[in-house]
Amino acid sequence: MEKKLPLGIQNFEKIRTEGYLYIDKTEYVYKLAHAGIPYFMSRPRRFGKSLLVSTLMAYWEGKKELFTGLEIEKLEANNKDAWQQYPVFYFDFNKDTYSRENALEEVLNEHLTSWEQIYGDEKREASLPERFRFLIENAVAKTGKNVVVLVDEYDKPLLDVITDTSKEEHNKDVFKGFFSTLKSYDKYIKFVFFTGVTKFSKVSIFSDLNQLTDISINKEFAAICGITDKEIDLYLSSYVSKMSLSLGLTEAACREKLKKMYDGYHFHNDSPDIYNPYSLLCSLNNNEFEPYWFSTGTPTFLLEKIQNEDFDVKLITEGKLYAERYALLEYKADEINLIPLLYQTGYLTIKKYDAEINALLLDYPNDEVRYSFLKSLAPMFMYNSEGISPLEIRSFINDIQNNDLEGMKRRFESLFESLPYTNNKDAKLVERDFQNVIYIVFILLGQFVKVEPHSANGRADCIVETNKSIFIFEFKVNKTAQEALKQIEDNRYLIPYSADSRDKWIIGANFSTETRNISEWEYKCV
């Protein structure tokens, strides 16, 4: 019988005992456990971090029966010391919100109280760090085994209050006092594993615990979370067959669509393609292609940072966004640098390594992120008096499909009319807003028709193709529409389509930074 897909289930024991499908990642558990190294790993939200930590917990608790038939059973077959039970302290920071006063202390207290029932509560009136130290000592004394410390989503108490400086600093101080215990109590510890979305460079977990090995961008562990094509072949082929039958697609077409929507993550420049596990499993379960991961919410602080920095969103898909490896491993909240944050939160991923400049090229991982992210950004660049974005991409599609270029002009004018107005915004920033609007519109059009944005090989600003027409767009700033049309003709942008029987339109437009709108719009069928 086909097993149930574990949608949103992050408990390893529940998956293994209640008939859910488990995609075997225990080879990585074996590698981590036998290295004996304290680790930190960053992955985007809903990427399987919690399931990995739950699996590590079951392993260190010696629950051998849960691992029957899995890779680690074979790897441990000749190990007489395998499957021993160790005292495990598992901190789960994902199950609460931290905007209220002293929320972090309450969560820590809840964890300590539960363990005090096992290892003794003589220090229950002491400070949180003192109670933790006492528990570690008592656990070692009572069991004769060193302790295992697993910390899931350590950064949630910081990300939840990132726009509230006083609370963020408070939670950092709480962490400093609490987890510094791990450094001074190293002789009592068997294994340490921290997970999070981002690595805060000035959080004492990383300054005090400088022995933590960061495997966030590591070839050996690149596929430790998420799902690969090989794993789809091994575990999910029957679900793909069922989905393709439901949608009237061939299996090959269904796989290609799944790949375009949910694949494309790389956590090392030599990483295999990684699918977003949450979106992939939801899609296979529902037999629909929807932005499941993205619809769970984009952090508001991320959007605020993008808006405050006047970020040039088109840099991403122009193939110009590079970052050095070390820069992606840390996030400095007090410095303006969006790139590490966009990478760590899953909105950008590594696409290749450029050895000449020793940097990693970043891009959107897939269509789910590309289109959903730009839709979420649209209201930041354009909104009417009610605060609602006037962008309705299907209206642009209707104009394109009907060759209604005047209708398209009016829609662009409406969008530019909605550009946020501030008296101190200079012409360069107004031009940036204009370019972002153009970019967002044409990338979103790419969901429905073929769109080729500007590239470095001398093409026009945008080329749009429908079944019956080809449109070549060129946009100017503080010049003329005639100059735009002349550039299209002089540079012979239509040459690649000379044998094509479809109608061919060239469109030149000029944007005025003084009026903050289109001043000229000319077109002709050639």
Mean pLDDT computed over every residue of the chain: 89
Model-level pTM? 0.89
What span, in angstroms and rounded, lies between the C-alpha atoms of 328 and 199? 9
**DSSP code of 273?**
P
Cβ burial of 154 (10 Å; 0-12, 13-18, 19+) is buried
**Residue matched to tokens 């944007």:** 511
- 17-57 confidence digits (pLDDT tens): 999 999 999 999 999 999 988 999 999 999 999 999 999 99
For the chain, domain boundaries? 12-216, 223-366, 382-525
- 494-515 confidence digits (pLDDT tens): 898 999 999 999 999 999 988 8
What span, in angstroms and rounded, lies between the C-alpha atoms of 198 and 41? 9
> Given a cut of 70, is residue 391 above it in pLDDT?
no
**Architecture of the domain defined by 12-216:** 3-Layer(aba) Sandwich (3.40)
Phi, psi of 164 (to 5 degrees): -115, 95
* Spatial CB neighbours of 326, under 8 Å, sequence gap ≥ 6: none
Among 177-181, 392-396, 429-433, name the one with the lowest average pLDDT: 429-433
Mean pLDDT, to the nearest integer, of 339-354? 92
Residue 198 near residue 344 (C-beta atoms within 8 A): yes
Rounded to the nearest angstrom, the gap between the alpha carbon of residue 53 and the centroid of all alpha carbons in its chain is 19
Q: Beta 213-214 vs 39-42: how paired, if at all?
A: parallel
Mean pLDDT, to the nearest integer, of 8-19? 96
Phi, psi of 271 (to 5 degrees): -85, 150
Residue 216 near residue 267 (C-beta atoms within 8 A): yes
What span, in angstroms and rounded, lies between the C-alpha atoms of 156 and 513? 42
Q: Beta 349-354 vs 322-323: how paired, if at all?
A: unpaired
382-525 topology per CATH:
Trna Endonuclease; Chain: A, domain 1 (3.40.1350)
Whether 12-216 and 382-525 share one fold: the answer is no
Question: Which tops the pLDDT comparison, 55 or 433?
Answer: 55
- 289-314 confidence digits (pLDDT tens): 999 998 887 777 777 777 777 677 77
> Structure tokens of 100?
């209220």
Question: Which tops the pLDDT comparison, 19 or 338?
Answer: 19
CA atoms 3, 4, 5, 9: torsion sign: negative
89 backbone φψ class: left, alpha, beta (φ>0; ψ -120 to 50): beta
Q: In what order do the strands lie in the sheet with 450-453?
A: 450-453, 462-465, 469-477, 503-512, 517-525
What pLDDT score was predicted for residue 86?
98
- 458-499 confidence digits (pLDDT tens): 678 899 999 999 999 999 999 999 999 999 999 989 898 999
